[in-house]
Amino acid sequence: SYELTQPLSVSVALGQTARITCGGNNIGRKDVHWYQQRPGQAPALVIYRDVNRPSGIPERFSGSNSGNTATLTISGAQPGDEADYYCQVWDSSVIFGGGTKLTVL
Amino acid sequence: EVQLVESGGGLVQPGRSLRLACRGSGYTFGNYAMTWVRQAPGKGLEWVGYIRNKGYGGPIEYAASVKGRFTISRDDSKNIAYLDMNSLRIEDTGMYYCTRDSGTTGPAASEVWGQGTMVTVSS
């Protein structure tokens, strides 16, 4: 079955750029969606179909997808960006990555 | 405001059944597919299943871990999606979220999420 690999944790200094990766076999051929889950809250969509931001999501959030890696980039990281981030694809079933905890230092 | 509200969670013994409901508001409920996602305590997200809107038809999709035990349905006249859970197991314990799915022919991005309803399976 298809698997998505995310780092368990990523740390970023306040105001700097965080990159969260999502690895999968030929993931560049799939649509990747990204979710943010703040502590105690439901997840929220932050990027869909690799690069698209839903309304209300700051431009600081961007996505890319090529080869075997999709990446969520958060520019100018803020304290409110501290959360768990999950990638998701469809491969005969919906697959979520294991999640990455982002810490803003 | 687009909103999803889940209900029906609670404590249930292994082997018993439970029905969850998800009421949508602020949009034309019948025009959108719906997805259920769950999250065990302290763990990541796990997809449960997906139901298309009536306009597109097609099979209801289920995760292998729940296929044959869980059933998703919808009543567009009431703006409600249901998750019927039978033969519950301890490992079914978790927060259950319903989502509005942007996909029409198959699961895509979950663009709107409810606040979740907690299911605890324990003797």
φ, ψ for residue B118, nearest 5 deg: -90, 130
% of chain A beyond a pLDDT of 70: 100
* pLDDT at residue A45 greater than cutoff 80: yes
Q: Using one digit for the tens of pLDDT, what is the confidence trace for B30-39?
A: 999 999 999 9
Q: How confident is the model at residue A39 (pLDDT cuts 50, 70, 90)?
A: very high
Predicted confidence at residue B55, as pLDDT, reads 82
Q: Which of B46, B102, B113 lies nearest to residue A48, judging by beta carbons? A: B102
* Closest CA–CA distance from residue B52 to any residue of chain A (Å): 14
* CA triple B118-A34-A13, angle to 5 deg: 100
For chain B, what is the mean pLDDT?
Answer: 95
Strand pairing class (B80-85; B18-25): antiparallel
Question: Which whole number is the average pLDDT over B102-115?
Answer: 90
Q: Which of residues 19-78 of A touch B (CB under 8 A)?
A: 31, 33, 35, 37, 42-45, 48-49, 54
- For residue A56, pLDDT over 80 is answered with yes
Mean pLDDT (chain A, rounded): 97
Looking at CA atoms only, how far is residue B53 from chain A in angstroms?
18
B54-98, pLDDT tens digit by residue?
888 788 999 999 999 999 999 999 999 999 999 999 999 999 999
B8 in contact with A, Cβ within 8 Å:
no
